Amino acid sequence: MHGFNEQPIEIGRLQRFAMDHFHAQGGRLPRKSDEKRPEKIACIGAGPASLAAAAELRQQGFQVTIFDKRSLPGGLNTYGIAEYKLPLTDSLREIELIKDLGVQFRLGVEICGENSLAELEAEFDVIFIGAGLGAMHRLAIPGESHSGVIDALQFIEDYKTGKTTQIAGDVIVVGAGNTAIDAANAAKRLGARSVSILYRRTREHISAFDFEYRQALQEGVRFLWLTQLMAIHSSAIGITSVECLCTEIDSDGSLKPIDDSTFHLECNLVIPAIGQSPLLELLTQCRDVQLEQGRVVVDRATGQTSNPKYFAGGDCVNGGREVVDAVADGKRAGIAIARLLEVAYV
């Protein structure tokens, strides 16, 4: 089809078509089996990965319970992806479809420590880990502990849940990935006088998608390339400025600070967005589940981990990609878990 047409596939329009059809048919997820299966599956995390796994399993008649430490389900769809891209109400409306299937939710419950995992293992036949990633990396520079430094995830959450409705003054965002861009755009929409993204390397090195970068430019976000944040300065009234250093890239690609290139920028709010760390406090407690560089190692086709009772998917496996990847992982794991339990049942 693609070879015949030679045009880019319009995925957004295909998704629109599929959803219009879904709603025209009544907008309910169908059950794939009328059987009521006795096996119980626990999903840790109520983000896209677990929701997809839970929906698949419930559609096949299994008993599924989702645990999340937060009070609302949806993971980063609810708390992370900026409001202008995915409104909170849309995220929660989709979850109602999964609730309607009969998936149970235990919200405000953090699975932590060996005891709580041992309890899950005793109560459930299979555990799916869809716990995402951990906290943002720290800048590790002087002044970072000031209350005017808010990491990008917290900042976007406050914007999305309506806790922050406006900001004044000058904002510096550190990092140039998609999260940094979301935070910068949100700061602009909340009324910041100026928003600048500081990045140690150049435009060619950023991990943000090109369309996200261009949107930020349209929003009025300024990019300062080859600039490293060194310190945050404050007075009794709050953050006043940041201290920066110019960098250059050597012929071997390594980054080098330029001597005597320090300069200051006026600033009232600093938003670090330099990536999330792995969720080691949970993952290291999952019995016999192998990790590599903080990510859960799984069999790609099934999502099964080195402990056959545990499956995993989403950001905790791939290190942080997109919703569609998490959903695909969850669905694949749901199908594989159903097969595993059917074989055991026969």
Ligand X SMILES: Cc1cc2nc3c(=O)[nH]c(=O)nc-3n(C[C@H](O)[C@H](O)[C@H](O)COP(=O)(O)OP(=O)(O)OC[C@H]3O[C@@H](n4cnc5c(N)ncnc54)[C@H](O)[C@@H]3O)c2cc1C
Tokens of 67: 């645990």
Beta bridge partners of 243: 231, 264
Spatial distance between the Cα atoms of 317 and 297, rounded to a whole number of angstroms: 7
Query: Whose Cβ is closer to ligand X: residue 46's or residue 245's?
Result: 46
Query: Which listed residue (37, 40, 42, 45) binds ligand X by CB under 6 A?
Result: 45
Q: How many residues bind ligand X (CB under 6 A)?
A: 37
Spatial distance between the Cα atoms of 211 and 200, rounded to a whole number of angstroms: 21
Amino acid at 247: T
Tokens of 165: 């409705």
Query: Which listed residue (9, 18, 19, 112) binds ligand X by CB under 6 A?
Result: 112
**Shortest distance (Å) from residue 231 CB to ligand X:** 26
Stretch that binds ligand X, among 31-39, 200-208, 225-233, 318-326 (CB under 6 A): 318-326
- 321: contact with ligand X by CB under 6 A: yes
Query: Which listed residue (326, 328, 333, 340) binds ligand X by CB under 6 A?
Result: 326
Query: Which listed residue (23, 31, 85, 163) binds ligand X by CB under 6 A?
Result: 85
Question: Of the candidates 20, 23, 79, which has an alpha carbon nearest to the alpha carbon of residue 47?
Answer: 79
Give backbone dihedrals phi and psi of 24, rounded to 5 degrees, phi first: -65, -25
Spatial distance between the Cα atoms of 78 and 160, rounded to a whole number of angstroms: 8
- 47: contact with ligand X by CB under 6 A: yes
Question: Which string of x and - marks every residue 117-156 that binds ligand X (by CB under 6 A)?
Answer: -------------xxx--------------------x--x
According to DSSP, the β-strands at 227-235 and 170-174 are unpaired
Residues 6+ apart with CB under 8 A from 255: 200, 201, 247, 248, 249
Tokens of 255: 């980054």
CA distances 258 to 53, 139, 245, 253, 336, Å, are 50, 20, 7, 15, 54
- 334: contact with ligand X by CB under 6 A: no
**Shortest distance (Å) from residue 255 CB to ligand X:** 24
**Shortest distance (Å) from residue 342 CB to ligand X:** 25
Stretch that binds ligand X, among 41-49, 219-227, 256-264, 296-304 (CB under 6 A): 41-49
Question: Which string of x and - marks every residue 153-192 that binds ligand X (by CB under 6 A)?
Answer: x--x---------------------xx--x----------
Site residues (CB under 6 A) for ligand X?
Answer: 44-50, 67-70, 75-77, 80-81, 85, 110-112, 130-132, 153, 156, 178-179, 182, 279, 282, 314-315, 321-324, 326
